[in-house]
Structure 1
Amino acid sequence: MVMGGYVVKNEDQGLTPARIGQILEALALDGQHYADNVYDQARYARIHKLARILGGLPEDAPLLSEITPVTPKVGVDGAVINGDAILLIQRKDTEKWALPGGAVEVGERPSRAVIREVEEETGIHMKPDNVVGVFDNWMDRRVVSHHLYHIVIRGHKIGGTIKPQPEEILAAGWFTMDQLPPADAFHPGHYERVLKALRGVIGYVD
């Protein structure tokens, strides 16, 4: 369903006011973080207050960003298979190859998150099939600003054509095992994930 240009997800239907308040609070916190002027900052701050009222939270309840203990973030990577090839993107920030993916939003199922991220970044529509594994970015042996668990979800192409998202993606394409870029051309951790996805691994956990 489309409302005012926003696509309402199926899982948004029938949500309780408390759950809607939690989702709006998370969106408002993101908005306050990324807003580049004081007017938008003020608007998101007001939405944040209204979200807490809607969710029935007392004023002294901790913000989502303040809830402790501090735990890792969760992201999804889409291992989209088309025949014997896998979909890869070349990131604009590092110029390295990787699986398409991103953060799971509050109130969003991982299966929906990976569909959204793959479509946003590449224009390809996928259907999730199974979980390749859960990967810990601390295992990449690099200094990172946050601790993140990547859920790599294998699926297959059901439609769309490749159209890289220009703000974040330099290129995207289909690669068979023999056509993969060299290991050092991949964003940290992604070469291993791609190999496991192409080899049919299911349920790996770091």
Structure 2
Amino acid sequence: MTDDLLTTQRNMLALIQSGLAFTKDPFDRDRYQKLQAFLLQQMALNPRLNAAQLKTALAQDPGYVTPKVDVRAFIVKERQVLLVQDVPTQTWALPGGYADVGYSPRENVQREVREETGLAVRVRGLLHIFDTAQRPDIPQVAQFYKLVFDCEPLDGHFEPNMEVDRIGYFDLAALPPLSLNRTTPEQLATLTQLHRTQAFSSTD
């Protein structure tokens, strides 16, 4: 299955979801639902998509479909970057996750870091925004805008929790197995360069 086909399927899924949100005609609603079911069956044939990603597609928020927002923290100590190990997959990523309604971007990343690592952090600024649609080699059903913030740890300590088994600081030359849907080596290299030049943008 080509990357172009996955992009087309993702766009079609968004159009169907938006149609379901706005249509008033019961016959159109039935057609949209049948199209959605057929499209998801076709997407399930892609061996590079997992069940969790298809579940994400089914759980799209009602209303006009827009990219989702993911917030991540870039924390460096002695030239090593902090990563967290995901409980279900045992892979590693920058601490973070979905942005919740009711919080500013700064508050969202502070909340995520506290929940996953036990650390309180000071947000120094926005480092970079990644668009997952620009990485067709890493297929995802939904499109995410990944906001990565440069953060400085203040206090706190880690305890294993439902989301994270372990945390650790790693050199870019000796990374553990990464959760590529969340964090890639290329992203870490870009962020490291921006961190060194202190190329921060202000944020709420």
- TM bracket (short chain): 0.5 to 0.7
Distance apart, 1:137 and its partner CA = 1.8
Is the deviation greater in 82-91 or in 101-110? 82-91
Structure 1 residue identity aligned to 2:192: L
Question: Pick from 99, 104, 107: which aligns with 1:104?
Answer: 99
Q: What is the number of equivalent residue pairs in this alignment?
A: 136
Number of the residue aligned with 1:113: 108
Distance apart, 1:178 and its partner CA = 4.6
Distance apart, 1:203 and its partner CA = 6.5
For 1:198, what is the secondary structure of its paired residue? Answer: helix
Question: Pick from 168, 175, 198: which aligns with 2:192?
Answer: 198
Number of the residue aligned with 2:146: 150
Number of the residue aligned with 2:132: 137
For 1:163, what is the secondary structure of its paired residue? Answer: coil
CA contact (8 A) 1:98 1:191 kept: no
CA contact (8 A) 1:137 1:148 kept: yes
Counterpart CA distance in 2 for 1:145 and 1:93 is 19
Q: Deviations over 1:56-96 (max 9, x none)?
A: xxxxxxxx93322x110101011112342221011123222
Q: Deviations over 1:158-186 (max 9, x none)?
A: 11122232x121211122345433xxx21
- Structure 1 residues 158 and 124, CA gap change in structure 2 (3 angstroms): same
1:15-54 equivalences under 5 Å are: none
1:70-109 equivalences under 5 Å are: 70-109=65-104
Counterpart CA distance in 2 for 1:75 and 1:164 is 22
Structure 2 residue identity aligned to 1:192: E
Counterpart CA distance in 1 for 2:61 and 2:142 is 14
For 1:66, what is the secondary structure of its paired residue? Answer: coil
Distance apart, 1:190 and its partner CA = 2.8
Counterpart CA distance in 1 for 2:120 and 2:100 is 19
Structure 2 residue identity aligned to 1:199: Q
- Structure 1 residues 66 and 178, CA gap change in structure 2 (3 angstroms): closer
Number of the residue aligned with 1:187: 179
CA contact (8 A) 1:82 1:156 kept: no
Counterpart CA distance in 1 for 2:85 and 2:97 is 14
Counterpart CA distance in 2 for 1:176 and 1:110 is 27
CA contact (8 A) 2:81 2:171 kept: yes
Number of the residue aligned with 1:18: none
CA contact (8 A) 2:130 2:145 kept: yes
Counterpart CA distance in 2 for 1:94 and 1:136 is 23
For 1:154, what is the secondary structure of its paired residue? Answer: strand
**RMSD of aligned alpha carbons:** 2.3
